[in-house]
Amino acid sequence: MSRQMILVTTLEELKAGLALLEHPLGFVPTMGYLHDGHVSLARRAREECKAVAVSIFVNPTQFGPNEDLAKYPRDLERDLRLLEEADVDLVWTPTPEDMYPQGYQTWVDVAEVSLPLEGAQRPGHFRGVTTVVTKLFNAVQPTRAYFGQKDAQQAAVIRRMTRDLNFPVEILVCPIVREPDGLAMSSRNVYLSPEQRRAAPVLHRSLLAAQAAYQNGERGAEKLRQTMKSILDAEPLAQVQYVSCADSETLQELDHVTGKTLLSMAVFFGKTRLIDNVLLS
Ligand code: AMP
């Protein structure tokens, strides 16, 4: 580590901290409770940029009323240690009051790509995401921003928003980091019971089976969805919310796979909702 990591909370502190950083500036927005997936984004930013800023903010506006905002896992001390090890220059931990002060009333809505899949199951989720990412981009003014393919629709929505609103930020989407047994790393994996944790790699297994079918020539989207569904249905602890075979940019469901395609799913294990995906190209 070359220098002391700067830790800021208020917008004024952020401004003063950013003034000390060189450009190009890489930015990684997170909700904290960091794992190797988050760290991979910070390391990629470290490789490609002169300075790296990370935000940690559990954004209340992207949680639905029955979701896990209050119990979302947090461990700031550990997060800061991991970011220091990744040679991050600045960490911004705004409070909800900093981000949404009394009288707040402005929202950013990406119309179409926000609607299916996660958007259909979590109404208002992407409006919260795009609004907070807009605020983070405006405050940090990064050269490049790094997102994970783990949240594939989020990446597509943010790419669309960045183009549509002329944000002068380059969006980079990085590969999914997985546990050795294939489970995609997620802050929410800590909610899984030992039994559920043992069963959870079924998401990745079902994706690999559909990917193999595709590689063996299958182009029927419904066939690929059925391949994933039948493997997930064979796991008694898994409750499928959706499986999808969609255009990777628009997220519209396909009949036949021709161009860039996203296989994705949301699956409940008890109250814990896991998502995963693979890209076919
Ligand atoms: P979150 O803290 O869940 O909002 O995630 C912050 C960023 O990390 C998002 O861009 C996620 O897509 C990304 N991310 C989360 N999990 C992973 C993972 N397993 N591999 C790669 N990126 C991830």
Query: Which residue lies with its CA nearest to atom 6 of ligand 1?
Result: 30
Query: Which residue lies with its CA nearest to atom 19 of ligand 1?
Result: 185
The residue annotated as part of the active site, out of 35, 38, 204, 256, is: 38
Residues with CB under 6 A from ligand 1: 30-31, 37-38, 40-41, 147-148, 150-151, 174, 176-177, 184-187
Q: What is d(CA 155, CA 173) in angstroms, rounded to the nearest whole number? A: 7
Residue 57 structure tokens: 């903010």
From 35, 38, 207, the mutation candidate for ligand 1 (largest count of ligand atoms within 8 A of CB) is 38
Q: What is d(CA 128, CA 131) in angstroms, rounded to the nearest whole number? A: 5
Question: What one-character DSSP code corresponds to residue 106?
Answer: -
Q: State the Cα angle at 43 between 118 and 265, rounded to 5°.
A: 20
Residue 3 pLDDT: 79
Q: What is d(CA 206, CA 229) in angstroms, rounded to the nearest whole number? A: 8
Q: What is the pLDDT along the chain (281 residues), one digit of tens a residue?
A: 457 999 999 999 999 999 999 999 999 999 999 999 999 999 999 999 999 999 999 999 999 999 999 999 999 999 999 999 999 999 999 999 999 999 999 999 999 999 999 999 999 999 999 999 999 999 999 999 999 999 999 999 999 999 999 999 999 999 999 999 999 999 999 999 999 999 999 999 999 999 999 999 999 999 999 999 999 999 999 999 999 999 999 999 999 999 999 999 999 999 999 999 999 98
Residue 281 pLDDT: 82
The question of whether 256 is a catalytic residue gets the answer no
Residue 2 pLDDT: 56
Query: Which residue lies with its CA nearest to atom 22 of ligand 1?
Result: 148
